Chain A
Amino acid sequence: MAAPGNFLSPKLLRTGAILTILLGALAGALFWRNPIEAAHAPVATALGILVTGLLLGALLRLLASLRERNANLEKTLATAQTESNLRQAAEATLHKREEDYRLLFSANPFPMWVFDLETLRFLLVNDAAVQQYGYSAAEFSNMTIKDIRDPETAGELLEYMSHARPALKNAGIWRHRRKDGSSLEVEVVSHALNWRGRPARLVLANDITIRRQAEADLVELTETLEQKVAERTAQLTAVNSELEAFAYSVSHDLRAPLRSIDGFSQALQEDYAPRLDAEGQRYLQRVRAATQRMGTLIDDLLGLARVARSTVQRREFDLADLTEEIAGELAARDKERQCAFSIAKPLPVNADPGLLRVVMQNLLDNAWKFSSKKPEAKIEIGLLNHSEDPVIFVRDNGAGFDMQYADKLFGAFQRLHSMQEFDGTGIGLALVQRIIHLHGGTIRAEAEVNKGATFYFTLGGVTANEN
């Protein structure tokens, strides 16, 4: 509350003083006009001024006091108003928060409920629970958590509930039952709380039926896949062993009749020569030539089959050594021939030496064969090193072939030359390609008729998958 002095401002006091003097003088003058008391005029004037001053002071003080009380009243009123506003705002906020929290529970997308820890009755359920389980909120309120339990696991539940739980608990995976009898698998998280004075738990149940189904599907798929792989493997193994049996049988049985044909043809030629004219002799010769060719074909085919079944045993070695050896054998086979071999050295490779011998044997045999009609035959073996995977080439200046037929080159029994021109079974390049592929490499040829052919191949590097 403000001090009274505050209302007696200097201006007011000054005004009061002047007013007092004027009023006092007026009063004194009135008295002074009275002849009886004229002698007392100055006293009366002073007294008048004093009394008037006192009266005026008291009046002013009363006025100030009234004004102050009024101000205080107004202030109190304003404060009360403010407090009321604040309280209203706080209540609104609180209400809003409650609404928010209630929403967090009721509108939570996960089924949630609160149950009484002693009676196991549902105390509160949210919309998701109602939707998921098919019971209305009212129905829930007359049920216990045992009622949504799969009957088979009810015992487990009681056992589970008999133990003390930590406040926040991942209660694991349970099988629940909907109102319609269908079941679902849920992952349950719970938290202890006090609900209106009773020990209770808040439960959140996450339906994992779909996830579990996906997991089960995955397991089933894996099993099916494994079973299929096993079946395919068994089939492949069966086919493989059949193929092996076939090759074995061919090896033994197909050649035996050829021996008979050739053997008895020769016996005829020898023992019955006088009874055969020249043409008869020639026919027999042709029978024998065909027989022997068939023998070679069978052997080549068996070689191809053998390579198909073989595994690649890689090691580092110099292909130039092997190539020189084969070239030496070729030169020794036909000493009359003029053929210049040019072999780049070294030719480091990482490959199966046994299989590479078959490759080089065939490529060099071909180069040798197809350059046989050239007076100055040249066979060159070298390395193109400008790629990551080194390319080895075998080049001759022989008969070559028309690139139009290049796609037929590596097919089994495919020949680009007549037997009269050059002999052969048509297996060699198929075999070569098979071996190169086994190594994870590639092979191609470039040629021109009567100018020669070049075969380029790679060996799949060290990282190639070996099988």
Chain B
Amino acid sequence: MKTDKPILLVEDNEDDVDLTLRALKKNKISNEIIVTRDGAQALEYLHAKTADGEYQNPMPQITLLDLKLPKVDGLEVLRTLRAHPRTRLLPVVILTSSKEERDLVESYSLGANSYVRKPVSFEAFIEAVHQLGLYWLLINEQPPNQNGA
């Protein structure tokens, strides 16, 4: 696929990490996948600076964010990202088990770009990841000035 910017996956469930990686691989998405296991780690990855005041890590092309996370949950991560100048416009796709209405409403209210419910069927999940990759990595044009590496 056209971009080589990393994909940030925020997911605490080991199985889900493996299955997501597998689904990405099956869809031939070759971007580097950064996996963080809780909200705090994700924020650390995105907002940490070096001694020189530079951001430590490259901006991801997209962030796949689970909602139920230890320490700082997904919605809190999203709120913090939207309040921070670097990640204000970062595409965030909520990738979670629930389609509870309050999760949907809260996610969109806080500025999520998409909301994808992980299906039980792995085939359906592969298809969902395929669509996601197609849309966010190929079709969608990134917001400008997102290269604050």
Interface residue stretch chosen among A46-54, A97-105, A256-264: A256-264
Q: Determine if B121 and A262 form an interchain contact, defined as CB atoms under 8 angstroms apart.
A: yes
Residues of A within 8 A of B18 (CB): 263
Bound-complex Cα distance A265 to B123 (A)? 11
Asked whether A248 is an interface residue with its Cβ less than 8 Å from the other chain, the reply is: yes
Q: Determine if A267 and B22 form an interchain contact, defined as CB atoms under 8 angstroms apart.
A: yes
Q: Determine if B119 and A295 form an interchain contact, defined as CB atoms under 8 angstroms apart.
A: yes
User: Chain A interface: which size bin?
Assistant: 20 to 34
Bound-complex Cα distance A90 to B99 (A)? 103
Q: Determine if B120 and A291 form an interchain contact, defined as CB atoms under 8 angstroms apart.
A: yes
Q: Determine if A263 and B15 form an interchain contact, defined as CB atoms under 8 angstroms apart.
A: yes
Contact residue among A253, A264, A266, A294 (Cβ-Cβ distance under 8 Å from B123): A266
Q: Give a binary string over A293-335; 1 marks a CB under 8 Å from any B CB, 0 the rest.
A: 0110000001000100000000000000000000000000000
Q: How far is the CB of A294 from chain B (nearest CB, A)?
A: 7
Asked whether B30 is an interface residue with its Cβ less than 8 Å from the other chain, the reply is: no
Q: Determine if A256 and B16 form an interchain contact, defined as CB atoms under 8 angstroms apart.
A: yes
Using A248-B98, A251-B100, A263-B125 as known contacts, say yes or no to A256 and B119 having CB atoms under 8 A apart.
Answer: no
Q: Determine if A294 and B120 form an interchain contact, defined as CB atoms under 8 angstroms apart.
A: yes
Q: Determine if A256 and B121 form an interchain contact, defined as CB atoms under 8 angstroms apart.
A: no
Q: Determine if A247 and B100 form an interchain contact, defined as CB atoms under 8 angstroms apart.
A: yes
Residues of A within 8 A of B122 (CB): 259, 262-263, 265-267
Bound-complex Cα distance A292 to B119 (A)? 9
Asked whether B113 is an interface residue with its Cβ less than 8 Å from the other chain, the reply is: no
Q: How far is the CB of A292 from chain B (nearest CB, A)?
A: 5
Q: Determine if A259 and B120 form an interchain contact, defined as CB atoms under 8 angstroms apart.
A: yes
Asked whether A163 is an interface residue with its Cβ less than 8 Å from the other chain, the reply is: no
Q: Determine if B96 and A259 form an interchain contact, defined as CB atoms under 8 angstroms apart.
A: no
Q: Which of B13-28 contact A (CB under 8 A)?
A: 13, 15-16, 18-19, 22
Query: Dominant SS at the A interface?
Result: helix
Asked whether B82 is an interface residue with its Cβ less than 8 Å from the other chain, the reply is: no
Using A252-B68, A291-B120 as known contacts, say yes or no to A259 and B100 having CB atoms under 8 A apart.
Answer: no
Q: Determine if B15 and A252 form an interchain contact, defined as CB atoms under 8 angstroms apart.
A: no
Residues of B within 8 A of A265 (CB): 122
Q: Give a binary string over A143-164; 1 marks a CB under 8 Å from any B CB, 0 the rest.
A: 0000000000000000000000
Residues of B within 8 A of A256 (CB): 13, 15-16, 97
Q: Determine if B15 and A264 form an interchain contact, defined as CB atoms under 8 angstroms apart.
A: yes
Using A260-B16, A263-B19 as known contacts, say yes or no to A252 and B120 having CB atoms under 8 A apart.
Answer: no
Using A259-B19, A264-B15 as known contacts, say yes or no to A292 and B120 having CB atoms under 8 A apart.
Answer: yes
Asked whether B67 is an interface residue with its Cβ less than 8 Å from the other chain, the reply is: yes
Asked whether A255 is an interface residue with its Cβ less than 8 Å from the other chain, the reply is: yes
Q: Determine if B98 and A251 form an interchain contact, defined as CB atoms under 8 angstroms apart.
A: yes
Binding site for A on B (CB under 8 A): 13, 15-16, 18-19, 22, 67-68, 96-101, 118-123, 125
28 contacts between A and B (CB under 8 A): A251-B98, A251-B100, A252-B67, A252-B68, A252-B97, A252-B98, A255-B97, A255-B118, A256-B15, A256-B16, A256-B97, A257-B15, A259-B15, A259-B97, A260-B16, A262-B120, A262-B122, A263-B15, A263-B22, A264-B15, A264-B19, A266-B123, A267-B122, A288-B121, A291-B120, A295-B121, A302-B100, A306-B101
Binding site for B on A (CB under 8 A): 247-248, 251-253, 255-260, 262-267, 288, 291-292, 294-295, 302, 306
Closest 3 CB pairs of A and B: A295-B120, A260-B15, A263-B122
